[in-house]
Amino acid sequence: MSPVILITGGAGFVGTNLAARLLADGTPVRILDSLARAGSEQNAAWLQATFRESLELVRSDVRDATAVREAMRGVEHVVHLAAQVAVTTSLIDPHEDFDVNTRGALNVLEAARAMRRPPSVAYSSTNKVYGVLGDVEVRAKSGRYEPIDGRVRAAGVDESRPLDFHSPYGCSKGAADQYVLDYARSYGLRTAVLRMSCIYGPHQHGNEDQGWVAHFVRSLLADQPITIYGDGLQVRDILFVDDVVDAFESVRREIGRLTGQAFNVGGGPPNAVGVLELIHKAEKSTGRQAQLRFDRWRVGDQRYYVSNIGKFRDATGWRPCIDVDAGLDALCKWFSRPHTPPSPAADRAAHAKAAAGAYSP
């Protein structure tokens, strides 16, 4: 029997796409997910209906150390995705945020360390570990911000950037990021960290707090207003989920060479897009016109973040293959299929419920 891959938060957006790829290739997958986040139950049902034989679903929480240890048995590799994923939620309940993101990650690492043959661990971190990048001076040009420093403008933010955790979410994810790296140093575990930029694609049931690309598309299709926090000129490098799955698979294949390292993973400068610019693209893809509202900047928001992906590219050969227009069209087609993802209103109603359990990004 093939070795099992454990995906925590595997019924979330990225986890569902990763599980589907592995299962389609004949690799057994075990998912540990609380199914607390809106849309995760639908994702889990789709995976179970599509891949009956090789999928095992454990409905539990990464904060349950016993459940995590049980789920770790017989596992060759772990992709730790389960998390509380919203800055806003972390500001409301930092204790909850810490328990899910930091204690949950520690439970995963300790469970892996306790195995007779410890599995390798890939951890999904975030660009928020670099803080607000307040020292990166920007100027408005052509409807978006761009760095004045030509090197940053050409290549993005690299891993030499000092860590500067901002918001409880930044602290909890950043602490977990550092635990994952230290378990390679202190205990010899084979671990690697991917610091993600903005990911989008099918099976993403995003809201205005997290998963904003899907939130924009879904709101357009539902004729719901979109709130822009700040002025809409802020820039992110967005990355289609198929490319993210390729990145995690590169880590699994190359973990022996990547152990103990952190890598920035995003769309890079070719896939950098301003928020308002993205909305205009989504309007073209959906044939709908956005109803825009503006509100004040939110805590920890970066005016400009684009990943320098050179380190990961040089280490693995990975690079994004799907550009913004193609990825956005694919997301719009998925939302237009005959299925019933949660509406923006339903997602807001589920927000309080989700805050009581482990989110899945």
Q: Residue 171 above 50 pLDDT? A: yes
pTM listed for this prediction: 0.92
Confidence of residue 34 (pLDDT cuts 50, 70, 90): very high
Active site residue 304: no
Number of H helices, E strands in the chain: 14, 15
Tell me which CATH homologous superfamily contains domain 4-354: NAD(P)-binding Rossmann-like Domain (3.40.50.720)
- Using left for φ > 0, alpha for ψ between -120 and 50, and beta otherwise, residue 137 falls in beta
Q: Residue 46 above 60 pLDDT? A: yes
- What average pLDDT score do residues 321-325 get? 97
Active-site position among 123, 130, 169, 359: 169
Q: How far is CA 127 from CA 20, 28, 163, 271, 338, in A?
A: 26, 31, 10, 16, 34
What percentage of the chain carries pLDDT values higher than 70?
A: 93
